[in-house]
Amino acid sequence: MHPALNPGGLAVITGAASGIGLAAASRLAAAGLRVVLADLPGDRLTAAAAAVPGGIAMPVDVADPAALRALEAEVTRAHGPVSVLMNNAGIQPGSSTFDPEGTWDRILAVNLMGVVRGSQIFAPGMIAAGRPALIVNTGSKQGITTPPGDPAYNVAKAGVKAFTEALQHTLRNTPGCQVEARLFIPGFVFTPLTAGGRVEKPAGAWTPDQVVDYLMAALDRTDFYILCPDNDVDRHTDERRILWAAGDIVENRPPLSRWHPDHAAAFQDWLKG
């Protein structure tokens, strides 16, 4: 078990009122940690905290830096140093390149800057506590292979990847620091974020509990990139997709060549290799 996951430690999870965040809160509480569930205020957050043994509901809008600073101050004042921070809050209302929907600002504020500011605000106190601690930032495969269809979400999650890499580099080069960061990269998970009006889980999706099982197993290892499969996509397929996306630069192919009519067939052939 990761040394930050000791019974009695304190975890803070954003986006904890449902989906992966709620599943992670339940798992950490079962491991003996005290868990703060942070999400937008309302009945959903209240019900989620009530469903987690000892769960502590704290409303926050992660897009508001002042609210995040107030959350950190209240958490540490009332409950002490944070052992685990999971920056998990995210939205996916849909987007397009020229933003007629007007969603870009909010998507970037929540999905990217909520992670950046959450890390920046909580990490100094975690470092100063002088004990093992962990920051888990929820990214996405869409931030790595950037498929067409939702560019604002892709940009935000690509930023989470780049920021979390920089964060881990900084932490490991900070003298005396016992805090580390991990990048959590779920696959297709059936949550309120991805349901799209469906009430039954698609066969290809994992449940939030399954993906949290995978996360917890990875935290027992030294994995920085916690790349999760699902029922449709295995590790080999993910690796080939990621390598092909990097190859667009190296081979000077058109961007997003997986979906380009001159390269799509070559990608499918290569994927089988």
**Residue range 95-124, pLDDT digits in tens:** 999 999 999 999 999 999 999 999 999 999
> What CATH number is given to the structural domain containing 213?
3.40.50.720
Residue 241: domain span: 234-273
Q: Are residues 244 and 157 in the same domain?
A: no
Q: Are residues 141 and 262 in the same domain?
A: no
Decide if 214 is catalytic.
no
Sheet of 179-185: strands edge to edge?
Answer: 56-59, 34-39, 10-14, 84-87, 133-138, 179-185, 225-227
Q: Are residues 167 and 266 in the same domain?
A: no
Decide if 153 is catalytic.
yes
Q: Are residues 222 and 271 in the same domain?
A: no
Q: Are residues 249 and 183 in the same domain?
A: no
pTM recorded for the entire structure:
0.96
Of residues 141, 157, 214, 272, which has the active-site annotation? Answer: 157
Q: Are residues 156 and 228 in the same domain?
A: yes
pLDDT above 70 (res 195) = no
pLDDT, average across residues 189-202 = 78
Of residues 153, 161, 214, 272, which has the active-site annotation? Answer: 153
pLDDT, average across residues 15-32 = 98
pLDDT above 70 (res 253) = yes
**Residue range 128-177, pLDDT digits in tens:** 999 999 999 999 999 999 999 999 999 999 999 999 999 999 999 999 99
